[in-house]
């Protein structure tokens, strides 16, 4: 299994697909791959197994405990590489530094994961003292790529960095010297250096231009064209000329559509027409571009030239994807036209390389179906049924094509474990159950069975109404699921559903309840924190300031409300597919937060008519097992009613009517308990029953009572006194009516010491 790509292993670890990672049980102690030991540590951590043996091996291999935790930090940085996950490796680097304050690698790791400038300087000093001059040069060069995070360096820090760059023993590029001279305000030397460089950071150029130290022409010549926008602001003609100059260099960027946009904004309409009409069919970036053609049509209009019917036809074909560019200009018959076009394509095709979902025309129809006006139209039901029928025919043809290709691959002996699973799933889709059973059995003769392969055989037998045989294989899949702790709601559902079809099989109540628990836990676990859950990992909660909110703040927990406690009577609706016999529990509870940090409506509705508070939370993303988080979807009530028996879980928990869209809601949900505590995780010592989160700020409503300000100040001080030293303090703010706009709120910080 040594040929498995690290990226795939990381994906399995993050998805907690432990059954695919069992090969590491036999090789984590080897030196076959430098990361296997670290990967194994995090697998055991996620499975909540004892880590003593792993830590001992890491320490033995790396010489001391600090180096061991530094290695784990590197591994964590490899696994949790997204910007919203960097707190995880940072904790390991921080722990390594506690064990050995002279660990330069750990200090550098803490800087790149937590922007700790003190650790950056310490790392540079330690490398210099150790005569690691070559490494030091590379490190200084790397600092340039983190230029957005170096403004916190002190003058003393910059003096030190400058001395390193100018040290003859250290070889590095000049990029960081410009920053050092700039922040040290050594203007003459900095300008002389800028003169000799091709491009310079826009912040430096902007600062010198604002001080009248350089001309506008000089400034523009020292900027990349994509930095010119920021520098010139709304001077569209100058911005366009900068882009033209860049394009004359013959490089890949700027793209044709970008030049068209800049020319249009500058009022150079003839240039827009020229760019479009000179576009080659070999221009892959522009071939399917819509906005460029829209600008072209608009430019023709400005120049009083006839419309290009061919381009207009192209735009008409893409009308449903224009969103912000246009209103819904087409009626239901446009969808019918597109469905007919898809039908024609289906009849003409002899080879299907894609499902119908990947076709632009199909996606346009689906998008149009989101229109409330179309949903209420008398032809909607017919159009919807026609499209569904076409989708079934198209995708069946696609699966037949894919299965035939996979069979050829099988005959050539060029199959990976993932290929086998895809082959079996395609066989099931195409109803070739004998083929699937035969080849999975052959696979088992040479390979370790997996819960997925057992499940495939079970599905085949179940589709053939051979429920007893199906149940045997589902039971084997369940056994592997328990042993690997890789709980899967699909396999659990198949096992229980099949058992219910067999009169002589009865699942014991204790086993059923246990499986139902894991079914819901795995279903919930599919809803993980992701990059787009919240901007910068921040969410906001509006609430009254009362006994309940005081307790939640003081004891650091989220309260999850039941259906009866929610303000919307149609929340957590009663659906026909959800009852006591369904595996999906009906006792889910939710905690509502928002991406909207300045909503007059929410201050009124949820924060006691501006007398309450808004709490800002930072989330690391880690959640306990059986706790999910996801954005709420907002759709028209008519479409919601039509689809009420589809996507039941999402309809039940994560869908609201369009009327509530201003809330921009994100929900934490579970069926386990009503309170979930949170804390800022400090790896490796974390409480997995809690959410990794902390309070960033508390904002008082504009009518917050004066007699309660001392209490909220005391609560804030208590929270701050209990935090780790590296964790930012909780800021207390207050809302007030804007002086510039009497219909809007603004926020300002409060000096707690003066309350």
- Out of 259-273, 319-333, 441-455, 662-676, pick the least confident: 319-333
Cβ neighbours of residue 206 under 8 Å, at least 6 residues apart? Answer: 219, 230, 231
Measure the CA–CA gap between 726 and 538, rounded to whole angstroms. 18
Q: Where does the pLDDT of residue 540 fall: very low under 50, low under 70, confident under 90, or very high at 90 and above?
A: very high
Measure the CA–CA gap between 730 and 619, rounded to whole angstroms. 14
Q: What is the mean pLDDT of the chain?
A: 89
Q: Where does the pLDDT of residue 405 fall: very low under 50, low under 70, confident under 90, or very high at 90 and above?
A: confident
Which residue has tokens 């042993």? Answer: 483
The whole-angstrom distance between residue 82's C-alpha and the CA centroid of its chain comes to 8
Return the pLDDT at 675: 97
Cβ neighbours of residue 138 under 8 Å, at least 6 residues apart? Answer: 172
Q: What is the mean pLDDT of residues 186-194?
A: 94
Orientation angle between helical segments 433-446 and 451-463, nearest 10 degrees: 160
Q: Tell me which of 294 and 495 has the higher pLDDT.
A: 495
Which of 214, 212, 202, 149 lies closest to 178, judged by CA? Answer: 202
Which of 609, 615, 599, 711 lies closest to 663, judged by CA? Answer: 599
Most confident of 136-150, 181-195, 283-297: 181-195
pLDDT greater than 70 at residue 222: yes
Return the pLDDT at 325: 36
Measure the CA–CA gap between 544 and 550, rounded to whole angstroms. 9
Return the H-helix or E-strand segment holding 188.
helix 187-195
pLDDT digits over 406-463, tens only? 898 888 888 888 888 898 899 999 999 999 999 999 999 988 999 999 999 999 999 9
pLDDT digits over 549-570, tens only? 999 999 999 999 988 877 655 5
Q: What is the mean pLDDT of residues 622-650?
A: 77
Q: Where does the pLDDT of residue 356 fall: very low under 50, low under 70, confident under 90, or very high at 90 and above?
A: very high
Measure the CA–CA gap between 96 and 100, rounded to whole angstroms. 6
CA atoms within 13 A on the CB side of 221: 9
Q: Where does the pLDDT of residue 579 fall: very low under 50, low under 70, confident under 90, or very high at 90 and above?
A: very low
Q: How many CB atoms lie within 10 A of CB 381?
A: 11
Q: Where does the pLDDT of residue 465 fall: very low under 50, low under 70, confident under 90, or very high at 90 and above?
A: very high
Widest Cα–Cα separation across the chain: 91
* Residue 583 CB-density burial (10 A; 0-12 exposed, 13-18 middle, 19+ buried): middle
Q: What is the mean pLDDT of residues 381-403?
A: 90
pLDDT greater than 90 at residue 638: no
Strand partners, 113: none
Q: What are phi and psi of 266, to 5 degrees?
A: -85, -5
Q: How far apart are the first and last CA of the chain?
A: 64
Structure tokens at 276: 């479009």
Q: What is the mean pLDDT of residues 515-539?
A: 93
Q: Tell me which of 642 and 741 has the higher pLDDT.
A: 741
Return the pLDDT at 300: 76
Structure tokens at 479: 């056994």
Cβ neighbours of residue 199 under 8 Å, at least 6 residues apart? Answer: 222, 223, 224, 227
Most confident of 268-282, 301-315, 368-382, 502-516: 502-516
Which residue has tokens 């003839």? Answer: 270
Return the pLDDT at 318: 74
Q: Which domains does the chain have, with CATH numbers?
A: 415-507 (1.25.40.10), 525-754 (no CATH)
In angstroms, what CA-CA distances link 33 with 1, 7, 38, 45, 666?
11, 13, 10, 20, 40
Q: Where does the pLDDT of residue 716 fall: very low under 50, low under 70, confident under 90, or very high at 90 and above?
A: very high
Q: pTM of the prediction?
A: 0.77
pLDDT digits over 658-678, tens only? 888 899 999 999 999 999 999
Q: Where does the pLDDT of residue 646 fall: very low under 50, low under 70, confident under 90, or very high at 90 and above?
A: low
Q: Where does the pLDDT of residue 332 fall: very low under 50, low under 70, confident under 90, or very high at 90 and above?
A: low
Return the pLDDT at 328: 34
pLDDT greater than 80 at residue 618: yes
% the chain with pLDDT above 70: 92
Q: What is the mean pLDDT of residues 482-504?
A: 95
Residue 362 near residue 356, CB atoms below 8 Å: yes
pLDDT greater than 60 at residue 534: yes
Which of 641, 636, 594, 635 lies closest to 616, judged by CA? Answer: 594
Return the pLDDT at 302: 61
Structure tokens at 341: 């076009």
Strand partners, 633: 655
pLDDT greater than 50 at residue 327: no
Residue 259 near residue 275, CB atoms below 8 Å: yes
Q: What are phi and psi of 424, to 5 degrees?
A: -65, -40
Cβ neighbours of residue 534 under 8 Å, at least 6 residues apart? Answer: 595, 619, 666
Most confident of 324-338, 372-386, 488-502: 488-502
Return the pLDDT at 573: 56
Return the pLDDT at 706: 96
Which of 260, 284, 283 lies closest to 272, judged by CA? Answer: 260
pLDDT digits over 667-711, tens only? 999 999 999 999 999 999 999 999 999 999 999 999 999 999 999
């Amino acid at each position: 299994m040594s040929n498995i790509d690290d990226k795939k292993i990381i994906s399995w670890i993050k998805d907690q697909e432990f059954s695919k990672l069992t090969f590491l049980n036999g090789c984590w102690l080897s030196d076959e791959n430098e990361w296997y030991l670290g990967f194994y540590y995090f697998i055991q951590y996620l499975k909540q197994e004892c880590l003593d043996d792993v830590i001992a091996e890491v320490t033995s291999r790396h010489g001391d405990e600090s180096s061991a935790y530094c290695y784990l930090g590197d591994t964590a940085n490899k696994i949790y590489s997204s910007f919203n996950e960097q707190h995880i490796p940072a904790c390991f680097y921080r722990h390594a530094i506690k064990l050995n304050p002279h660990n330069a690698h750990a200090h550098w790791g803490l800087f790149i994961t937590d922007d700790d400038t003190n650790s950056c300087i310490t790392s540079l000093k330690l490398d210099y003292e150790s005569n690691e001059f070559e490494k030091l040069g590379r490190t200084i060069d790397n600092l340039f790529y983190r230029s957005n995070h170096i403004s916190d360096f002190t003058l003393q820090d910059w003096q030190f960095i400058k001395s390193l760059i100018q040290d003859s023993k250290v070889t590095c590029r000049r990029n960081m010297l410009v920053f050092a001279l700039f922040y040290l305000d050594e203007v003459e030397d900095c300008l002389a250096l800028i003169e000799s460089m091709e491009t310079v950071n826009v912040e430096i150029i902007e600062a010198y231009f604002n001080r009248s130290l350089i001309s506008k022409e000089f400034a523009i010549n020292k900027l990349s064209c994509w930095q010119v926008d920021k520098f010139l602001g709304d001077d569209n003609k100058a911005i366009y000329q900068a882009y033209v100059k860049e394009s004359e260099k013959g490089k890949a960027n700027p793209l044709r559509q970008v030049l068209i946009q800049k020319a249009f904004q500058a009022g150079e309409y003839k240039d827009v027409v020229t760019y479009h009409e000179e576009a080659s069919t070999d221009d892959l970036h522009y071939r399917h571009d819509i906005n460029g053609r829209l600008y072209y049509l608009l430019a023709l209009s400005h120049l009083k030239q006839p419309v290009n019917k061919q381009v207009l036809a192209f735009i008409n074909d893409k009308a449903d994807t224009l969103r912000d560019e246009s209103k819904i200009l087409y009626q239901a018959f446009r969808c019918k036209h597109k469905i007919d076009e898809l039908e024609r394509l289906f009849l003409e095709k002899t080879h299907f390389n894609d499902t119908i979902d990947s076709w632009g025309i199909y996606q346009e129809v689906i998008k149009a179906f989101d229109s409330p006006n179309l949903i209420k139209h008398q032809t909607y039901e017919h159009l919807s049924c026609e499209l569904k029928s076409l989708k079934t025919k198209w995708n069946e043809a696609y699966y037949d094509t894919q299965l035939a290709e996979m069979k050829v691959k099988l005959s050539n002996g060029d199959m990976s474990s993932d290929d086998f699973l895809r082959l079996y799933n395609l066989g099931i889709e195409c109803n070739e159950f004998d083929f699937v059973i035969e080849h999975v059995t052959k696979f088992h003769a040479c390979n370790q069975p997996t819960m997925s392969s057992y499940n495939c055989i079970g599905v085949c037998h179940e589709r053939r109404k051979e429920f007893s045989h199906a149940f045997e294989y589902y039971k084997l899949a369940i056994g592997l699921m328990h042993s690997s702790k890789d709980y899967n709601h699909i396999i659990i559902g198949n096992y229980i559903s099949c058992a219910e079809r067999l009169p002589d099989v009865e699942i014991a109540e204790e086993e059923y309840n246990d499986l139902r628990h894991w079914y819901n836990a795995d279903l919930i676990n599919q809803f993980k924190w992701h990059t787009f859950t919240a901007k910068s990992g921040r969410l906001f909660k509006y609430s009254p300031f009362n006994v309940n909110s005081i307790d939640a703040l003081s004891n650091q927990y989220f309260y999850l409300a039941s259906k009866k406690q929610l303000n919307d009577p149609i929340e957590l609706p009663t659906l026909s597919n959800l009852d006591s016999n369904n595996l999906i529990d009906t006792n889910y509870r939710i905690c509502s937060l928002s991406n909207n940090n300045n909503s007059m409506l929410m201050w009124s509705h949820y924060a006691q008519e501006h007398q309450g508070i808004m709490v800002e939370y930072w989330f690391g993303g880690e959640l306990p097992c059986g706790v999910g988080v996801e954005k709420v979807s907002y759709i028209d009530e008519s479409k919601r009613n039509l689809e009420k028996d589809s996507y039941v879980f999402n309809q039940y928990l994560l869908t609201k009517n369009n009327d509530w869209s201003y809330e921009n809601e994100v929900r934490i949900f579970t069926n386990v308990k009503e309170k979930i505590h949170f804390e800022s995780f400090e790896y490796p010592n974390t409480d997995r029953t809690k959410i990794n989160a902390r309070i960033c700020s508390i904002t008082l409503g504009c009518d917050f009572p004066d007699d309660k300000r001392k209490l909220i100040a005391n609560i804030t001080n208590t929270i701050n006194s209990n935090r780790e030293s590296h964790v930012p303090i909780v800021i207390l703010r207050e809302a007030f009516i804007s002086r510039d706009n009497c219909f809007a709120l603004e926020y300002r910080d409060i000096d707690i010491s003066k309350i």
